[in-house]
Structure 1
């Protein structure tokens, strides 16, 4: 069973420390800040828009355009983007977009370099890219999971196409990331037991308690530790195109 299936099954517990990905529940706060800071009357292109949730955070007079790949929207998620398109070949004219959002999408593209080149092309001078990307995180949405970039990798690819990082937030202290990965691994083992109808399912209560303890210990240790971007589970990055 893949990570997406695990997430769907356990979704009712997401806001509780019994959930293996509880540590992620506040992990997009910086991205939300970037989106809420978008000015009025902007043209915003959300590439890989899923259910278009960022539109709710934007000023009402912004023009929001949700773009997604046809197969992803129709076959995988049954969503309704405003435009079907390919992130590596955007159906958009040059220098017409104020803000591009690429949220947990770039790892699913066969060429991150080509996607950033396209984003740079469609952005107006002075425009920005809001990028959220996993780093230390399991495979998901296979087989369309191709790459992980550190913030150094993001900096290198954006510089090649005339963009520059204005702000970079590494999400997840080392202990939080370790706890997240450990809990996902434990949950995957437990789902294997359930799928096989194994007698070892009698240990499921122990699995639940283990996940709870790991989450609580990790959060407690993180709260008394110095900030450390040594092993984040994701990055939230604001990237600008010079004006």
Structure 2
């Protein structure tokens, strides 16, 4: 029976080093993706690698990335019959790991890598749903509390879709891995935790004072 709780490992998703840090658990992958704001979209253009930072959104087992209709990768995804080969990554840095030796300095992190063929979204209903997902990725509850794209804006926006099929997560936790011979060295070692949070909302200068702060922002600063 197929394991629906995990993605199947492939040659591209099995790391060559630190394999114990890899995970194919579906819930773990989704949680890392849903916590992020920016992904890095990698592809090959004119024989050379290109990596672009961009917003994304997830709906079920599909990731959506948007851009201008003039964007080369999005145009390429529309022309390619089988789709555009891409690699998408999302990473969170949770801590700075300081060891007694320079060699063993590291980071505590959580990351996801997705390989696959991206296709351009041409169905209007799917495109609108994808754009809502992108807005929701920034702030949950915002899509229903903003004007949706009109016909002109929709025509000027391209969206590509990437199925979550060839996927892996990787993470590191814990303290430094100092060599036994270094434990007596007089250097501080440990972890400097990193947190990322939202500050108090700052209204735009042209906002009507009668417009209240939305309930989804009224809770104040929160970590994410």
TM-score range, shorter chain: under 0.3
Whichever of the two has the greater Rg, that structure is 2
Q: Give TM-score, length-normalised by structure 1.
A: 0.22
- From the two aligned structures, give the one with the greater helix fraction: 1
